[in-house]
C-alpha cells in the first residue's frame, strides 16, 4: 500500500467533494435563473403563435 501523509489524505478527500458541491450549486443556480426568467416553465408563459411565419401578418387574399 502507498503511504501518504494525513494532509494529503484530507486534500484528496475534500477537493473532489468541494468540486461536486460546486457543480451542484451551479446547476441549482442555472435552474433558478431559468425559472426566474421564464425559460424553464415554458407551458405557463408561452406566447400564442403569430398569424404568419415568424409573427409576420398574413397577406390579404382579396376574397380568393
Phi and psi at 43, nearest 5°, equal -65, -35
- Digit-coded pLDDT (tens) for 14-25: 999 999 999 999
Phi and psi at 62, nearest 5°, equal 55, 40
pLDDT band at 13 (very low <50, low <70, confident <90, very high): very high
38 three-state secondary structure = coil
Q: Which residue has the cell 400564442?
A: 48
Say whether pLDDT at 1 is over 70: no
- Digit-coded pLDDT (tens) for 42-54: 555 556 555 555 6
For residue 56, how far is the Cα from the chain centroid? 30
* Domains of the chain by residue range: 1-40
Amino acid at each position: 500500500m502507498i503511504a501518504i501523509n494525513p494532509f494529503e489524505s484530507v486534500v484528496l478527500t475534500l477537493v473532489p467533494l468541494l468540486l461536486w458541491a460546486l457543480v451542484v450549486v451551479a446547476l441549482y443556480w442555472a435552474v433558478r435563473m431559468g425559472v426566474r426568467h421564464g425559460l424553464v416553465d415554458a407551458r405557463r408563459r408561452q406566447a400564442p403563435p403569430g398569424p404568419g411565419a415568424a409573427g409576420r401578418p398574413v397577406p390579404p387574399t382579396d376574397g380568393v
